[in-house]
Amino acid sequence: MTAKRKWSADVTEHSDALDLEEHVFESHDPKKIAASLKRSAEHSDRRKAEPFQSAMSMLNFYINRAGKNLPAKQKKVLEDAKDELRAAFGRPRES
């Protein structure tokens, strides 16, 4: 990263929708990531959508912004966190 911070890092750290726990996306446990996002979404009074949608949007945002810099192993963890997030909110898993 350059000396100037990237806007996507700023969004992740200072989102108006969710107050994220520090380093949540660095965890290697999809269940922990999902649980943290669920807690953040349910406790936020600034989100504009339902908790599930806000949590999933933030997860997708991070995956998309990390792009090529995200190691394949960690991308798999984050993709698995999507299924765990769906389960945490009682939504069906995608096939």
User: Does 59 fall in a domain?
Assistant: yes
Per-residue model confidence (pLDDT) at position 9: 63
User: Does 75 fall in a domain?
Assistant: yes
User: Does 18 fall in a domain?
Assistant: no
User: Does 79 fall in a domain?
Assistant: yes
User: Does 56 fall in a domain?
Assistant: yes
Please identify every stretch of the chain with a pLDDT value under 70, giving residue numbers as ranges: 1-17, 95
Spell out a b/e string for 11-48, using b for 16 or more CB atoms within 10 Å of the CB, else e: ebeebebbebeeebbebeebeebbbbbbbbbeebeebe
Our count of domains for the chain comes to 1
Per-residue model confidence (pLDDT) at position 4: 58
d(CA 10, CA 30): 23
Got the DSSP string for 59-74? Answer: HHHHHHHHGGGS-HHH
Domain that holds residue 80: 26-89
User: Does 5 fall in a domain?
Assistant: no
Q: Give pLDDT tens digits for 3-16.
A: 455 655 666 565 56
